[in-house]
Chain A
Amino acid sequence: DAKTTQPNSMESNEEEPVHLPCNHSTISGTDYIHWYRQLPSQGPEYVIHGLTSNVNNRMASLAIAEDRKSSTLILHRATLRDAAVYYCILDNYGQNFVFGPGTRLSVLP
């Protein structure tokens, strides 16, 4: 079973920030938090990952709660190309990923 829970769907307007939440209340101390996204008709692609501290990269930011039981993926300015299914995944030392159904993000022009 997936160890994370996410909303089924979210909507955003183009060029506005998007905050995608993920709950992972059973996270262990060594679990990394990964975010992947899947564009239509493509395989998933890596977005960002973190362990304890907030992380930034060119695609997004990851905000991790102090107790690590939840995290939020932040897209600073959504574009139409960001419309995808976003998956939050826990990973412990490179074991297989357990994907949930993810959050389907729609971006409105």
Chain B
Amino acid sequence: DTGVSQDPRHKITKRGQNVTFRCDPISEHNRLYWYRQTLGQGPEFLTYFQNEAQLEKSRLLSDRFSAERPKGSFSTLEIQRTEQGDSAMYLCASSFNKQYNEQFFGPGTRLTVL
């Protein structure tokens, strides 16, 4: 399967713990996006990378959140000191940098903070 993959698919953690999610984009895609989605809402943008450079971060991305894409391939999203409000689906998408921006989404990582 050459689509976007995310790992893990589900994560249950206790409040205050740190969690890290991984996203593997489609191999030739140089843009990678992270979104968060809560129940009944559309996805909300968190951050995006072009190659290894993090070009934009949403104000939703508090200082407890950090994302990296060290070699311009896979990316990680870490949440430190998780809170119950962090419970959501975390979606990763990738695209090829062109004038129109078809984004390919992964299946998401569902985070539950107890």
Contacts and interface: CB of A to CB of B under 8 A. Distances in A.
Contacts of A98: 45
Interface of B: 4, 31, 33, 35, 40-45, 48, 56, 58, 91, 93, 95, 97-108
Contacts, number: 65
A45 B107 CA distance: 10
A94 B91 contact: no
A46 B43 contact: no
B106 A43 contact: yes
User: Interface on chain A toward B: helix, strand, loop, or mixed SS?
Assistant: loop
B105 A45 contact: yes
Nearest to A94: B101
Given A94-B31, A94-B95, A44 B43 contact: yes
User: Interface on chain B toward A: helix, strand, loop, or mixed SS?
Assistant: loop
B42 A101 contact: yes
Interface in A51-93: 51, 85, 87, 91, 93
Contact of B42 (A32, A45, A99): A99
B41 A43 contact: no
Given A36-B103, A43-B91, A51-B100, 8 more contacts: A46-B104, A49-B102, A94-B101, A96-B48, A97-B35, A97-B103, A101-B40, A102-B42
A99 B93 CA distance: 14
